[in-house]
Structure 1
Amino acid sequence: MVDKNALSLMAIHIHLLHDEHREAGWQGIRRSTNLHTLYWVHEGRGIFTQGNGMAVEAEQGSLFYLHPGVQLSMEADEHEPLHIIMILMDIGEAGYGEGGWTITSLTEPLPIPFHLKCTGQLFQLMNARFDLLLKGWSPGNPPSELRTKVKLLEFLAEGADSGGAIREGRAQNTSTEALEQYKRVLDEQYAVPLNQQELCESLGLSASYARRRFQERWGCSPKAYINYLRNERAKRLLLYTDMPLRSIAQAIGYSDEYQFSAAFKRMNGEAPSKYRSRHTAPADERVQ
C-alpha cells in the first residue's frame, strides 16, 4: 500500500471521467486493469465481484476503489438499471531533487478502502462532488483539466486521511469528527503555543483520549506531529529565505533560537546553520 506520506507528492492524470447508464440485467468486467479506478453508484443495484471471489452489493451510495491489477466483474440487478460514474486515472509520485523533476508510477493501492457505503447527508455530499467532477472535466481544455485534477486530488487525500472510518453505512461519529477537527487545528496553528488540555476540552475530548486516538490514527503523538510540521516549515525557511535563526524560531513557534536549534538538530542530525549552508551551496561545492 502507498504510504500516506507519499500523498503530498502525488501526481494524477485523468484518462476518463464517464457517466454510465447500464440496463437491468447488464453484465460487464473491469477492462482498464492497468489504471486506478473509482466507481460511484448514483442509482440502481447490482453485484460487484473481485477476482478473488469476494462479492459486494453495489447500490445507491456505494463507492468502489480499485488499484491496478484487480479484476472485477459487474452485474446489474435483473429488475433495476445501474447508473455509475467512473473515473480512470494514472497516479504517480513526483520527486524533486538536484536533477530536477522525476515521476514514478504508483501501482500499489492507495490507503483507501475497496468499498464505502454512503447514506444520508454523506450520500448527498458525495453525489454532489462526483457530479461536480463530471461536469467540470473537459478533456483538451487545460484549465478545466487542472481544476478537476485539483478537486480529485483533494478527494483522494480526504479518503486516505479518513482511514476508512466510513464503512458499510456507518458515518463518522462525533468523536471521530472531533478528532479530525483537533488535527486541523494542529495543522493550522502549529506555530502558536497551544494549551492541549483546553483545546481538547473545547472539542469535547479528553486529552488522554485525543493522544491515544491520534497515535492510532496517524502513527505519532500530537506533540511529535507539531514538531514534524515545525521542522518541515523550518527547512523551507532555511533554504529559500535569508531569515536569521531567531526569526525562524519565532515564526514556527519556538521561544528562542537555542530551543529551535536543539530541536532541529535532534530531528535532522545537524544544526540549522549547517543545514542551510550545505543545502544552499552550489551542487559542485557540496561535500558528498
Structure 2
Amino acid sequence: MMRRNLGWAGMAAGAATPCLAFVADLGDPPQLFILVVTTLAALTAAAVRWGPRRHIAPVAGLAAAAMALVLWSFTGGMPTPQRLVAAAVWTTPALVALVVGGYPRLMLHRRAVAVQRARRAQRLQVARDLHDFVAHDISGIVAQAQAARFVADSRPEAAGPALARIEAAGLAALDTMDRMVGMLHDADPATVRPLPTLDELPALVDRFRAAGHLDVRLVHNAGPVPRDSGAMAYRIVAEALTNVRRHAPGATRVEITVTGGASGVEVRVSDDSTASPPRRRRGGRGLSGLRDRVTAAGGTFSAGPGACGWEVVADIPVVAA
C-alpha cells in the first residue's frame, strides 16, 4: 500500500514544498530556489522509482511545471524571452530525476520479463521431453502389454520376454523423467544425462521392432553430427515411430534413412500404411511441434502421404547449443 500511494505522496509533497517556502519566506531567493528544485527532483525520482506506473507521467509533469513556475517567480525582473529560456533550462532536473528513478525500474522490469521467458522456455522443454521421449516409451509399454495379454493363454512362454521389454521401456521412461527433474532443479549440466542422439538410434529401432511385428529397416549413413542436431533427429525418428504405432495399424514395413554430416542431417521415415491422412494427423501436437522446431532452426520439415504410405522428411541444419 505504501508503494502504491508513493506517487501521489510525491506529487503532494512536491507541490507543497514551494508553496510553504514562499509563504514562510525562508532564506535568500537563490538558496530557496536550489532547495525547492532539489526537493522536487528527489521526490520525482522516488515517485518514478517506486510509485504506480500510471502516476509517473503526472509526477514528472507536475514537478517540471513547479520548477518552471518557481524559477519564473524568481526571475521577475528579467525580460520575458530570457525568463522563458531560463524556465525551460531549469526543468532539466525533472528530466534527470525521471531518468534516475525510471532506469532502475526499467531494469527490474526487463529482468522480470527475462525470468518469465526462461520459465516458459523451461516448461516448454519439459513438455517436449514428455511428449518426445516419455510418450514414446509409454506407447511401447502399452503395445507390449497388449501383446502379452494376447499371447498369455496360447503362448505362455512369450509373456516373459514381453514383460521384460515392458520393464525396459518403463525404466527408460523413468530415466527420462529423472533427467527432466534434474533440469527443473537447475542441476549442474554435467550431472544431467544428455539427450539421446543418432548414436542411440539402433537401440531405439530394436525396442520398436521388439514391441511389434513390423519389418523395420534402419539405414544410418550420417557422419559425425553435432549433438544438438543429432538430438533433434532422434526426436523426429522417435515421434515418427510413435505415430506408426498409434495411427498406422495396417503398416507392415518401416524404413528409416539418416544421411548427412557436420553441415546437417536429413531424416526420412516412411511406412506402407494405407491409413487416410485425416486419421494419421490425429493425436496431439508432436509433428507440428517438431515442424516448428526444425523450421526455427532453419531447416525444412514435411509429413504426409508418400509413394507407398506415410512419410516424414526433415532436413536439419547445424543446431547451435
Q: Which has the larger radius of gyration?
A: 2
Higher relative contact order (CA 8 A, sep 6+): 1
Q: TM-score normalised by the shorter chain: which range applies?
A: under 0.3
Instruction: Output the TM-score relative to the length of structure 1.
Output: 0.22
Question: Normalized against structure 2, the TM-score is what?
Answer: 0.21
